[in-house]
Amino acid sequence: MMQPLFISIAAVAALSAAQELPQGYAPIPVPCPTDLQWVRPAVGLNPAEADWVQGRKPVVLEALRTYLERLELADFDMGEYIARLNDSHQAHVPIIGMAISGGGFGSAFTGTGAMRAFDGRLPAANTQRTGGLLQTLTYLSGLSGGSWPTVSFTAHNFPTADEIVDYWKPEIDRIYNVENTTADAATEVTMFEQIATKFEAGFDVGVSDYLGRAYAYEFIPGEEGGLNTTYSGIRQLSKFLSHEMPMPIIHLAEVGSGDLEYDGLWVPQANRSLFDVTPFEFGAWEGSVRAFTPTEWLGNRLSNGQPVNDSVCVRGFDRDSLIIGSSADAFNFWYLEAVSNDTLGQFAKRAVTLSDLDGIIEGFEEVFGLNLTQSAYAVYPNPFANLSLSSGVAHTAPELTLVDGSETGQTIPFWGQIQPARNVDFIFAWDDSQDASPYSWNNGTNLYNTYRAANATGLPFPVIPPVNTLMNMNYTTHPAFFGCNASRTTTGDERAPIVMYMANAPYSAYTNYSFTQSATSREQMQEIFENSFNIVTQGNGTWDAEWAECIGCAVVERSLARVGMQRTHQCTRCFERYCWNGELDERTPAVMNPSLILDPSEGFAEWNATNPF
């Protein structure tokens, strides 16, 4: 059990004297730049991102060629396809993304397993002909627990999954009962000392800072849990500069005045603005904010697009730890679930105990004098105040109040990838949000929620059937494609990407462990990786020997018409098997409690009896 975080002023080394505290987490004062566009309208891509995407296309094209050569699609003239992509000066190279859902450590690790199964650096993935798809990604988006691998892989300069596990050391518990600060974990006192430097520098702090510092000792590179590592700094890493890794996108949700309020805590409405955070910029495409500001210069309060204090600006607010802590800050929901006996604040994730939450609240009250309401959210100085491109609280408030993006009901981070400016053709969607109670599998609710939100706002996205159909057609246990037929999309045309939906399910292991499990043995990590590999490859092709080719068909589908080529007969057969055809089955489904898919005779009790986890 987590120890109460009741920290005395003496225990945090005289917080009133900033010079006595560890330096590194507080934003750094610098002269204000004179040639910076502080705010741009949410129209088209940021020019720097557009240039980077263009630079990524030749690298993707070569990765796609290698992948397709290995795949050997029937009746598909791969050489002609690649030649036509080259003839377009790479303009028609498909833009491919992957989105990893929220779900704490569960989604972080199972989603990493899926990335591993797509990695061309893994011989087993190449043997199963799924390897190489990771190298074709232009975008990688994450939310909450899914933000941890998304930021970690890119911040570590994109190692393999097996290499990154050695960096993470997941067997170390960084959350509960850390007795001494080491290079691999920090005590509550140390983390409050680190956060205090930011507080003493005049910035709001809260649970997002605390969570981020705890998670950073596992997921962020650099000394003291990546204390100085910034999200915008990804742009300077060698594999980002050479366009050899995808660009990360993290989602946050706005919350504030006008939302429902319980026990002094806000609950965001489903249509609340979702904020994109990329290494280039921070902002939202629609809603209360329709603008972006450079991520590197987060932390500066702006009015009408200019610094309120133009004599001193700050850099370094965008610590990687703050970004992942903000994306996973669902403290308002956890608390409301706990105090209401699960009647308020419900979403896919399950809360820690009330005593754990009270311990964190006591820590912020004792150290910083902040109450529950003041410390529950991620608070960012508002760069969008007094703009014609903002409205509501974002137009008037000095700060933006942000929470875990899944609180809007969209736990799979599609939103940034389905913006028309990004022109994404295909998305691998990994879902481990554990929304099928009581056994913490997945029922597709969050996939369906994004369809509803996209349909309401006119964004291009596949039509998704309701949850009952998703479950009854086994789309939550076997991967499926949505949007293959462009008429079956919200816009009725090929602007919508094809989505390959993969839900975590028990193939070779029961991986529905608690999202709060804070220490995972190497043996369990191996089982998680093997299970995700079996989902991606469909049991090494035992479910369907043509499955790998069917993935390839979906990956190239949107680009074929642009280069004047036709879908092959093999791909037509694949789409007949794996694309949702509009059929509905709205009978009440059975409780989601599957046995091992690769060995149905082995139920959970039998499997659990022979596994130490």
Among 160-164, 268-272, 407-411, name the one with the lowest average pLDDT: 268-272
Higher pLDDT, 45 or 348: 45
Please indicate, yes or no, if residue 172 is contained in any of the structural domains. no
Question: Residue 344's pLDDT is what?
Answer: 58
Q: Does residue 116 surpass a pLDDT of 50?
A: yes
Q: Does residue 53 surpass a pLDDT of 70?
A: yes
Last residue of a domain, one of 410, 431, 454: 410
Indicate whether 374 and 480 sit together in one domain.
no
d(CA 257, CA 289): 15
- The answer to whether the CB of 150 falls within 8 A of the CB of 140 is yes
Last residue of a domain, one of 382, 410, 438: 410
Indicate whether 363 and 474 sit together in one domain.
no
Give the strand pairing for 260-262 and 247-254.
unpaired
d(CA 373, CA 264): 6
**Eight-class DSSP state of 234:** G
Q: Does residue 328 surpass a pLDDT of 70?
A: yes
What is the span of the domain harbouring residue 539? Answer: 43-101+125-143+412-613
- H or E element that contains 112: helix 104-117
The structure tokens listed for 511 are: 């991986």
Nearest of 252, 269, 251 to residue 260 by alpha carbon: 269
The model's pLDDT over 125-152, given as tens digits with 9 standing for 90+, comes to 999 999 999 999 999 999 999 999 999 9
Q: Which residue has the tokens 């709060």?
A: 516
Question: Residue 563's pLDDT is what?
Answer: 96
* Chain mean pLDDT for the chain: 92
Mean pLDDT of 504-524: 91
Beta bridge partners of 96: 137, 426
Last residue of a domain, one of 392, 410, 428: 410
Indicate whether 398 and 434 sit together in one domain.
no
The model's pLDDT over 166-216, given as tens digits with 9 standing for 90+, comes to 999 999 999 888 999 999 999 999 999 999 999 999 999 999 999 999 999
Mean pLDDT of 409-417: 96
Question: Residue 496's pLDDT is what?
Answer: 98
Question: Residue 301's pLDDT is what?
Answer: 97
Give the strand pairing for 247-254 and 137-142.
parallel
The CATH number assigned to the domain holding 397 equals 3.40.1090.10
Mean pLDDT of 24-34: 94
Please indicate, yes or no, if residue 149 is contained in any of the structural domains. no
Q: Does residue 31 surpass a pLDDT of 80?
A: yes
List all residues 6 or more positions away from 279 whose beta carbon is below 8 Å from its beta carbon. Answer: 154, 231, 232, 233, 234, 235, 240, 247, 248, 295
The amino acid at residue 321 is S
Beta bridge partners of 251: 276
Question: Residue 354's pLDDT is what?
Answer: 59
The structure tokens listed for 6 are: 């009741």
Q: Based on the number of CB atoms within 10 Å of its own CB, is 605 exposed (0-12), middle (13-18) or buried (19 or more)? A: exposed
Please indicate, yes or no, if residue 111 is contained in any of the structural domains. no
What are the respective helix, strand and coil percentages of the chain, to the nearest 5? 40, 15, 45
Q: Which residue has the tokens 């249509």?
A: 271
Question: Residue 603's pLDDT is what?
Answer: 87
- % residues pLDDT > 90 (the chain): 84
Indicate whether 448 and 366 sit together in one domain.
no
Please indicate, yes or no, if residue 578 is contained in any of the structural domains. yes
- The answer to whether the CB of 426 falls within 8 A of the CB of 96 is yes
Q: What angle do CA 240, 236, 296 make, to 5 degrees?
A: 115
Please indicate, yes or no, if residue 575 is contained in any of the structural domains. yes
The model's pLDDT over 460-502, given as tens digits with 9 standing for 90+, comes to 999 999 999 999 999 999 999 999 999 999 999 999 999 999 9
Q: Does residue 4 surpass a pLDDT of 70?
A: no
Indicate whether 91 and 26 sit together in one domain.
no
Q: Does residue 567 surpass a pLDDT of 90?
A: yes
Q: Does residue 262 surpass a pLDDT of 80?
A: yes
Q: Does residue 350 surpass a pLDDT of 60?
A: no
d(CA 466, CA 449): 9
- The answer to whether the CB of 218 falls within 8 A of the CB of 172 is yes
The structure tokens listed for 252 are: 């946050």
Indicate whether 298 and 372 sit together in one domain.
yes
Question: Residue 343's pLDDT is what?
Answer: 58
Please indicate, yes or no, if residue 584 is contained in any of the structural domains. yes
Q: What count of other Cβ atoms lies within 10 Å of the Cβ of residue 116?
A: 25
- Structural domains of the chain, count: 2
Question: Residue 1's pLDDT is what?
Answer: 31
Indicate whether 284 and 390 sit together in one domain.
yes
Indicate whether 406 and 418 sit together in one domain.
no
Indicate whether 397 and 462 sit together in one domain.
no
- The answer to whether the CB of 315 falls within 8 A of the CB of 203 is no
d(CA 217, CA 224): 7
Indicate whether 293 and 405 sit together in one domain.
yes
Please indicate, yes or no, if residue 521 is contained in any of the structural domains. yes
Indicate whether 454 and 546 sit together in one domain.
yes
The structure tokens listed for 564 are: 């004047």
Indicate whether 54 and 14 sit together in one domain.
no
d(CA 219, CA 169): 9
Question: Residue 357's pLDDT is what?
Answer: 78
Please indicate, yes or no, if residue 392 is contained in any of the structural domains. yes
313 confidence band (pLDDT: 50, 70, 90): very high
